[in-house]
Structure 1
């Protein structure tokens, strides 16, 4: 009997495992089991190094479907994410994303179709790593701003979005979604989404500066 397994990962207390399941179910997925790693970085650990991530390799069988909100939930390292997806496909597991409803499997036999599939996987994995690196730099800027705050500097208005909302905005932008669609999904204003799109590093730095 085949199963649909949702893998969720959160690295901060601002993020929410339950929200990732709700998103998946709202997108039409019928989840049989949730495998989740909480408080675990996708940069510092590979999928197999995480307690629950490792379980995926033990429980997934041919015909099963692995659902993730976006490939960055699997990790933020290009080589690790590409390697994990390829291993699952080799086993006959189908990988599907909630955002944009992308599907990766080993069904393609035509070399051109395989090349397009592999290129898309590589692009998404590379984008996940690039976002993580940009976030790290922005957090450094946020720490500097927080230090300035302690010294009496003005930080500006508190961000109107949470870290989880910011991640969803970035994921959907990477998937090609428009500002109006993202605003509806995140319950943010369209103007806020546009500001994040135009100045992603500044958006991350604002959260870090306020300790969010």
Structure 2
């Protein structure tokens, strides 16, 4: 039985190493890292990614799959739910670094199964909703930035798009500012800024190309 970390970054500027470090800090001993670079979680299903296909080939019964959050497996509701259920059907345990969630197919109790499946569905829906909101915000932010290309862009944000995604995910699950800040590695002030004006935060990130 092995423990795999699957990591994904959508741009060349992002760093897979951060996700590896987060897994190690969470106490996981990773046997192998499978990573897709420069791949969109919105437009490219897991099975269509080069390393995603390899992940399906390598996972065996009793293995553990660790991901930063379910959005690493996809940003589409159907893709995420189908992937997690496919892994569980194989006897693979899926664990998330954020929130420390565990999904497996061991339980046969119908109530426990219903709660598990509902949670998977909620997290998958959240991943898609965040992706759609990000896309809209980025478009409006980029358009606004182009209109004022020669204008002062304001202070550079002290957080990245990935940090903001983590903060929003934590807040969506009812976590407090302190917990969200710890999960994303940002300050409480940054969490309040994102929470109070998410569209403005996205626009600032877009203006700075973050």
Q: Same fold (TM over 0.5)?
A: yes
Structure 2 runs not aligned, ≥5 long: none
Q: TM-score, length-normalised on structure 1? A: 0.93
How many residues get paired? Answer: 210
1:93-142 CA-partner distances (Å, limit 9, x unpaired): 00000011100000111111111100000000000000000000001111
List structure 1 segments (4+ residues) > 4 angstroms apart after TM superposition: none
Structure 1 runs not aligned, ≥5 long: none
RMSD: 1.5
CA distance in 1, matches of 2:141, 2:155: 14
Contact 2:2 2:64 in 1 (8 A): yes
Report how far residue 206 of structure 1 moved. Answer: 1.2
Q: TM-score, length-normalised on structure 2? A: 0.94
Is the alpha carbon distance of 1:199 and 1:46 closer, same or farther for their aligned partners in structure 2, counting shifts above 3 Å?
A: same
Are 1:188 and 2:186 counterparts? yes
Contact 1:14 1:164 in 2 (8 A): no
CA distance in 2, matches of 1:172, 1:182: 5
Counterpart mapping for 1:1-212 below 5 A: 2-150=1-149, 152-212=150-210
SS in structure 1 at match of 2:204: helix
Structure with the larger RCO, 1 or 2 (CA within 8 Å, 6+ apart): 1
CA distance in 2, matches of 1:13, 1:166: 18
